[in-house]
Each structure stands twice: as structure tokens, then as C-alpha cells.
Structure 1
Amino acid sequence: MGREEQRAAMRQVREGLIAELEELYRGAFDRIGSQDLGEGAIARLTQLLLRSREAAITPLEQEIEAPLITTPAGQPAP
């Protein structure tokens, strides 16, 4: 597998993971909303879940958006 193919495959894997995580968190938010826990408990759980989602998804998104660092032909990679 060539370098470009590897990059494309990694991007697809990351995008797939993000989609799966989004679905997981959406389900968790739905479950929290359907429970009779009181506003304070729901707010705390929601805040924790939002922070967890951010920590799980942001690094994957940043890696997808990161600029590609290349070296000129004939020079060793750093």
C-alpha cells in the first residue's frame, strides 16, 4: 500500500471512529434525557458527557485536519 493510500485509509478509519462515537454519545444523551433524575443531576451528567465527547472526538478531528508535513525529495525525513 502506497503512502497516499495509507493516508486515505487512516482518514477513513478516523472518520468512521468519529461517526461511531457520535452515535454512541447521541444514544447516551437520549438515555439521560429520558431518565427521571431531576434537573441538577441531568445537568451534571450532561456536562460530564459533553467533556468526555470533546476529549474523545477532538483529537481525531484535529488529526484529520492537520496539515501534511513533507520533506523535499532527496532529503531525509526529520
Structure 2
Amino acid sequence: MSKKEQREVLLAQREALIDELDSLYKRTFDRISTLKISERSIAKLTQIILLSRDSAIAPLREEIEQPLITSPSTQP
């Protein structure tokens, strides 16, 4: 497998993981809204989950957005 193909596979896997994590967090927020707890408790829990989401997804997105660094051509 060429380096380009490997990068494409890794990119696809990162994007798939981000999508799966987004779905998981959306389901979690939907579930939280049904809890019979105080608004303050829901707000605290939501804040913690948002921090968790950001920590889980940010490194994956940063890796996707990094520019591809290539070697200079050896041909004139």
C-alpha cells in the first residue's frame, strides 16, 4: 500500500471515529434531557460531557487538518 493510500485509510478512519463519537455524544445529551434531576445537576453534567467531547474529538480533527508535508522534488 502506498503512503498516499495509507494516509487516505487513516483519514477515513479518523473521520469515521469522529462521526461515531458525535453520535454517541448526541445520544448521551438526549438521555440527559430525560433525567429527573435538577437543572443545576444537568448543567454540571452537560459541561463535563462537553469537555470530554472536545478532548476526544479535537486531536482527531487536528490530525486531519494538518497540512501534508512532502519532500522537495529531486528533479529540476
- Shorter-chain TM-score bucket reads over 0.9
For residue 51 of structure 1, report the CA deviation from its aligned partner.
0.2
Secondary structure of 1:34 counterpart? coil
User: What is the correspondence of 1:1-78 to structure 2 with a 5 Å cutoff?
Assistant: 1-73=1-73
Structure-1-length-normalised TM-score: 0.90
Structure 2: segments with no counterpart, 5+ residues: none
Q: CA deviation at 1:44?
A: 0.1
Distance 1:2 1:42 in 2: 48
Question: 1:38, CA displacement in angstroms?
Answer: 0.8
Runs of 4+ that moved beyond 6 A: none
* Per-residue deviation, residues 1-23 of structure 1 (Å, max 9, x unmatched): 00110000000000000000000
Shift of 1:73: 4.1
Letter in 2 for 1:48: I
Q: CA RMSD in A?
A: 0.9
Which structure has more RCO (C-alpha within 8 Å, separation ≥ 6)? 2
Aligned pairs, how many?
74
- Report sequence identity in percent: 50
Whichever residue aligns with residue 21 of structure 1, its letter is: L
